[in-house]
Chain A
Amino acid sequence: MSISGFGYLIKEGLKNVWNNRMMSIASIGILVSCLLLTGAAALMSVNVQQTVKAVGESNVFTVYLKQNVTELQAVQVGENLKNIDNISSCKFLSRDEAIKQYKKDLPEEIYQELIGQGNPLPNAFKISMADLSKYSDTVTKIKKVSGVDQISNKSDLAATLTKLNNLVSTAGIWIIIILGLISLFIISNTIRMTMYSRRFEISIMKSVGATNLFVRIPFIVEGMVIGLISGLISTLGLMFVYNILMSSISNLIHYDAIPFSQMSTGVLVAFIISGIAIGALGGIISVGKYLKKEGNEILGW
């Protein structure tokens, strides 16, 4: 096919989008919602995954002492902890220091609630392990030291976050499948309407010897243009939603979300590719059935 022929087909595809603009807008709306929900789920998942990774990699555990252990007694507990061979560092964290940390991280009301009848936090030690593979063995030894109440189990947090992540992914996949199908349905119907309104031209095209590919391309281009526009709108939309969501989460808890700018290229590329793919597929689906028709059949479908 010549370049000029291709240019003509692209132009025809663009005309289709414009001539059928109400349906095009509806298709774009549906596809944008689909991409937005999918994208939101994906970004949430990325954030959770990053947190899980950070938690998993950090080698700092908090050993909480029993409430009745005073700071003075804690010194002795600290000595005993240091004697456990796998413990590489051991730093005292007084309950006063700990509560100050909370005051910084939490909103004022929640903080007030927390300290209600005085500081509820026990004294604690921040420890690190020399060899994390001996984790559970070391935890057993730490728990045997008198005065130790419990040890923060960071892997619990990691597990919770992973569970959340899986939930988000599963829900995300269903959202993608269902909304993808809806988008496909709407787009292929939009294109079928365009085809219907152009059936007269199609019958002429076929009678002068246009190949099926040539008849088909403008409709596929129509789908791809709808997909491309949807991809662009969705990227902007997701940036907007993500920034609002993350800044409100950051206000609530101390959390450094991955900045959107770091993911914008990936989101843009993914949205445009999937938008165009869904659009093209919609075009292919709707055209195939009608290409087999001939002559007056086309006019009378």
Chain B
Amino acid sequence: MIEFKNVSKTYQNGTKALNNVNINIDKGEFVFIVGASGAGKSTFLKLIMHEETPTNGKIFINGTNVTNMHHRKVPYLRRTMGIVFQDFRLIDKMTVFDNVAFAMRVIGASPSAVKRRVPYILGLVGLKDKANSRPSQLSGGEQQRVSLARALVNNPLMIIADEPTGNIDPEMSYEIIDLLSEINKYGTTIIVVTHEQNLVKQFNRRVIEIGNGQVIKDSVPMPDLDNEADSSEGQI
């Protein structure tokens, strides 16, 4: 599903963010990306989202080579991914409902599809009764769940989250990762960048550690604890 082949990224100012990285992530996997600050984790995600292009190497996503993808095709690539940010990126002059609906409307969804889909997704993240609230009236954990709902609403193949728990307290953080695990059960690939070692330890998942622009560790989960994944695959 995501394949990096000898990928290097050097920014224009000369910073070498990634250095000859090879990573393979399969459909339905749940992967934590960890590593020190400045290691290149966000750069890895930006290359997946095609916000940046690699200086060297090749990137395949959903079986297509996206390394030098034409800019007109990029939006359609992004529709296969749901993106979650550390700072939520919610629009405060819109209600929770409209924040989620926004993601559907701007890719041309019909009003009836919006009406059907948004309440369902808000139910899935446990925010059905907050549909008419403003983001600023919610707790950090709730806001991140709105942002997760927005990422999910267009039925992506993968969720890409850059430090989704960076701005919320540990208890809420656990709930967010737990929610992502639930979503993963439906077959959605999940990639989570995080600093929090404790959080990672609580979940038995594949962990890729990046250090200094390179993969320095790639640990697969213990097989006996992972029997739930992919068991009820289907669309959310």
Contacts and interface: CB of A to CB of B under 8 A. Distances in A.
Nearest to B112: A4
A209 B78 CA distance: 5
Interface in A221-245: none
Interface stretch (A61-69, A210-218, A264-272): A210-218
What is the interface of chain A mostly: helix, strand, loop, or mixed? Answer: helix
Contacts of B77: 209
Interface of B: 46, 49, 51-52, 71-72, 75-79, 81, 83, 89, 91, 102-103, 105-111, 150, 154
A209 B154 CA distance: 10
Given A1-B108, A4-B111, A205-B106, 6 more contacts: A207-B83, A208-B150, A209-B77, A214-B106, A294-B52, A295-B46
Given A208-B107, A210-B107, A214-B107, A200 B91 contact: yes
Nearest to A1: B108
Interface size class of A (residues with CB under 8 A): 20 to 34
B111 to A, nearest CB: 5
A294 B75 contact: no
B199 to A, nearest CB: 24
A203 interface: yes
Nearest to B82: A208
A283 B154 CA distance: 29
| A-B pairs with lowest CB-CB distance, top 10 | A5-B108, A209-B78, A209-B79, A210-B106, A208-B103, A295-B51, A4-B110, A209-B75, A294-B51, A211-B75
A209 B158 CA distance: 14
Contact of A210 (B46, B75, B83): B75
B128 to A, nearest CB: 22
A301 B72 CA distance: 22
B115 to A, nearest CB: 11
17 contacts: A1-B108, A2-B110, A4-B111, A200-B89, A200-B91, A204-B91, A204-B102, A205-B106, A206-B75, A208-B78, A208-B83, A208-B102, A209-B76, A209-B154, A210-B107, A211-B72, A214-B107
Given A201-B91, A207-B49, A295-B46, A5 B105 contact: yes
Interface string A102-123: 0000000000000000000000
A16 to B, nearest CB: 14
A83 to B, nearest CB: 84
A289 to B, nearest CB: 14
